[in-house]
Structure 1
Amino acid sequence: MTRMNGKSVVWIFLLLIACAIGFFVPVPQDARFIALLKVILFFGVIVGLLYLMRFQETSFPEEKMEEEASIEIKTLDGIREGVSNISGEGFGKAFDIFSKKYLSVVRTAMAASVIGLFFRKNNDLVLEWGEDGHGVLEPCTFSPYSDADLLGQVIQEKRTCFVSQLPSGFSFSDPKQAKIHSFIGVPLLFKDDVIGVLAVGSETEGDFSEADAHLLEQFSAIFMDVLFTCRHGLEMELEGKIYKIFMEYLTQLKNVSDSHSAITLFVNSLTKLFSFDRFTLCLKQGDEGTIHFVHGQLDGLNPGIRFPLEEGLNGWVLRRSLPLVLADISSGEYQRPRYFKGENSKHGLRSFIGIPLGPKDNAWGCFSLESQKPGLYGEKAKEILSPFGVLFELGFERLRMSDGIHELKGSPRSL
């Protein structure tokens, strides 16, 4: 079934109410046509309500499930997904303060030597925050973590791991740290996926009991409740800031008088949202693409350079008129060219996102963001960039036509 947004449902519901009101309007005795119309309205209301009931039962839960599944829950930073230049002063900062103080309290309540909060990131396990009797632990990454390890075992089995005796011992971060010989690890679950581990350890064997393991499970449940509350709050906070930047860009675009100023304004707006080392605007010219404007890192790929549409990433976006997101263009043995084969490959750029400009099936241009940090852009970044691209597309086309008219007016007439 085709899905509708909330506004469509509201309009259909209001229409059904109007039809129902029409049914109850008194009808003169001799108005047979109106009476027949009321019968039709009645059946129309019934059919419409049944449709809405079916829509409510099937489409909304699926849409919500897909939306939630598309969001990284590993950390609150994952919600930003590339929108790194917008800080979460409210919920993000509040969660950071809460988590550190709360986990410190948990360590004290458990009489543990050390506590660690670990989150999964791809195939790595990252110690986001930890504390022992000497202070805060240095962040570290287990890359890749092993299912044979205690932390990996918690993730693999998706249940609490309690070990009262570890003769060889192990440490949460620094190998020079004192070894722990008692361990409890609780999985942090989102739906049926383990997104991390909350673990405590003691330098003494037999220092924990089954009751301690159950207590840590309760502490982790409270922590996850706060995490999800702050996650939803941070999402609303970021959406509000993105909308504000969007409206500011729309207002300022109306006052721009030439195409070059429109590009500059567009780049300045994007810098409020995303981190990037290179912005490129490309235009299609026949069977080739042309680098029209560059902001940031050049690497010899300057404005005016032409490239085939069949070889690089920007050509792919122009040729197919589709957005393209790559977490790492340098992954594996083959480094994907951005414009053409044989280009300078010592640029150090990793993340790439390209957005087409123009009609759906016939783009006349595209813009791309690139960063030296891998995995910086994702589907959320594409959703944010697309409406900004539509505004820029309309303004840029209008101003290019205006620039052309001014050039014609300023050129001498041919005899």
Structure 2
Amino acid sequence: MDIEAQPRRQSRSVFELIDHRVLFAALVLLIFVGYFLSNVFTGAWGFIIKVTLFVLVVWLVYRLFLDISTEKNNTEIDRPEEKQSVYPKETTADIDSPSPGETLNLDLFSPEEKHNFYQELETFFRNLIATVRSTFVAFSAVIFLWDRAQQVLRVEFCDTQSQSLKKGNIVEIEGTLPGQVFKNKMPLLEQNIPSEAQLAHYYDSSETIKSFLGVPISVKGELIGVLTVDSKVAEDFSPEDIELLNSYEKLIGQGILILSTQEKSRLINSFLRAQRLLLSQFDQEDSLENIIEALGNACKITFEFHRLTISMVNSDQHDTAKIVKVLGQKDEMPEGFQFNLFEGLTGWVIRKSKPLLLDDLEKGDLFRPRYVATESSNFELRSFLGVPIHYQTRTFGAVTIECRQPEFYSEWDQYILLLLANNTGLALNNMLNKPIQSQNGLEAKGKM
């Protein structure tokens, strides 16, 4: 067995064992005695006594301070050695968030993290702008970002059918439609642009743009750019489309802020995959069953939940609705369950055509039923998020997701679920108004 060598304890002199106060008292006594003896003896004896007392005083002072220093050193030697921590000491530095216009200091990330960061950033915006163009069936969808140095808007991401629109194209603030949106800090809708007044000067060559819709992009209240869609068809966009484009603008603003956060990045990418799946399924078949199935699949890809419910308003009784799709736990409200719109949380979402986010259904003294007033249990479901499925002024139903964990959903989840629901509402409207062949010619389903 290895035995650690212990430091040898140093031997201590008699003077080191004497208390300092005793030495100090002896010093005072010698000075006092020497004062009187020097007056009693004169001549050579007086001189000898004075010199002797002086030497004794100096020697006692020297021993006094030497003993104090030696005791201090011995105390440090006898103290147990502290073990060094196995964890390195953390050093903290004040790292300020980059202000608008500054570049993110990517030296804080490893080369692999840098690559993943840029890759996810590019993938996110490319998929998002492609989704925007598909949603509006636009000729082009563009994200312009403000170039502070040159005081212009610059095309950062775009999805277009034109060969003359590329990343990096510069747009002046004055005399252009995107510039007008940025300058006024307000949405802009142009439904019939005259051919001789082409203000869409973000194309390298002339393009006959007839419809334009743009909204400002803000991050924490600061204007950073513009999101636009355009079309070669007059009146291709309506005032109701502003709300939908604003939803994408909020997604862009939030994405710029927290894209580097892994969980948010996962949610965004899941949403984009779900959105593409949703649109592809809409293109395959426009039946009600297919649209509801597509919405359920898209939510399953994007969100975590213990129960998902899709409810549709009854066509014959507009003050009631029916559950048409349930994923997860069934409870006492399975598919086919009907409820009054004037009872419960889901009825409120449909009746008001507004989203509703509740952190905890069990919070507070009052019980809040989800569907009917006779409910007595929430079946351990705590978090509730519901959004309407609507298009323009018509509300078709609602989609709700619930989780057993309180405070599980955020406004970010609400934005994304609302986007999926808005696209579902658009698909339902297109299905109901799609022309069909009849004996008397073409008729619209929505007018039958």
Query: Which TM-score tier does this pair reach, normalised by the shorter chain?
Result: 0.3 to 0.5
Larger radius of gyration: 2
* Structure ranking higher on relative contact order (CA contacts 8 Å, 6+ apart): 1
TM-score of the aligned structures, taking structure 2 as reference length: 0.39
TM-score of the aligned structures, taking structure 1 as reference length: 0.42
